[in-house]
Amino acid sequence: MNNEFVKKGIGASYKNIIAASLIGLAVTAVFIAAFAAFMYFFASGFKYAALFATLSAAFGGFAAAFFLAGKSGSRGWLTGLFTGICTFLIITVVSLAVNHGALTGNTLFHLVIIVLASVIGGILGINKPSGQKYL
């Protein structure tokens, strides 16, 4: 059993999940705003919007996994994987509901980028507090 459940109770883990979700959402919003400013100042139009949206979601997943893995204290890659998959599923469901589109080859690319960023965030988050440097 996870040490966090034993020490602080199950409610503390839900608070960490909510905090990680809010952190991921905030980081995603900041990167979307930064990329929007970039596209505005360089007059690129919407040419790179899909790429910047994917990168923003990846940075948000990275931040959420980094925070959550650091709080959990174990299994950083698994925490990152779970965070990345949840982030991807939420974005995909909202995108399908709003655009009435279908899953495409780009959807797999988005999955890979978001999950990889989240797994890396989980690995780095678990290694940061302990000072150990291994995957």
Q: What is the pLDDT of residues 42-85, one digit of tens each?
A: 887 788 888 888 899 999 999 999 999 888 877 888 989 999 99
Q: Where are the domains of the chain?
A: 3-130
pTM of the predicted protein model: 0.81
pLDDT, averaged across the chain: 83
Q: State how far the Cα of 81 lies from the Cα of 111, in Å rounded to an integer.
A: 11
pLDDT at 106 exceeding the cut of 50: yes
Band of pLDDT at residue 105, cut at 50, 70 and 90: confident
Cα separation values, 132 from 52, 63, 73, 121, 128, Å = 33, 19, 12, 15, 7
